[in-house]
Amino acid sequence: MTVRNNDVLFNAAQVGFVAGGYTFTFPVGLTSAEAAPNVAAAEVFATALDAAIANDATISQGSGAPIAAPTGAQIAESQAKSALVQALSQAVFASRTGVDLVPGDYAGIVASLVVVYTAVVANFQFT
């Protein structure tokens, strides 16, 4: 199993990617074989985004796993950061086809998402 910087953000990026890909049309009757390329591409994208965001001790342990016994503030922070990653990823992939399995092809998208993520997180309030 791959060790992630932030499992919570990795998962949110996958969810956003897949949700974005199905934003305007969800294929009813989709088989697992038909979904597999999109799911594989979501993992590639999420891995690239996770690699670009350093381990965040406010939401994950050094191993990238979520904090074992989080405080209320840590839960709120984790939810806000994961919601942000999911929403940004979904917004990006709502207008793109998502079956690219080349990690480097996501570099520009990832760089832009990290800029927005960093700026928004700096304004979060957890009191």
State how far the alpha carbon of 124 is from the alpha carbons of 32, 78, 79, 121, in Å: 38, 11, 12, 5
Domain chopping of the chain, boundaries = 7-121
Query: Over the Cα atoms of the chain, what is R_g?
Result: 15
- The fraction of the chain above a pLDDT of 70, given in percent, is 94
What is the band of 104 on the pLDDT scale with cuts at 50, 70, 90? Answer: very high
Output the pLDDT for position 61: 81
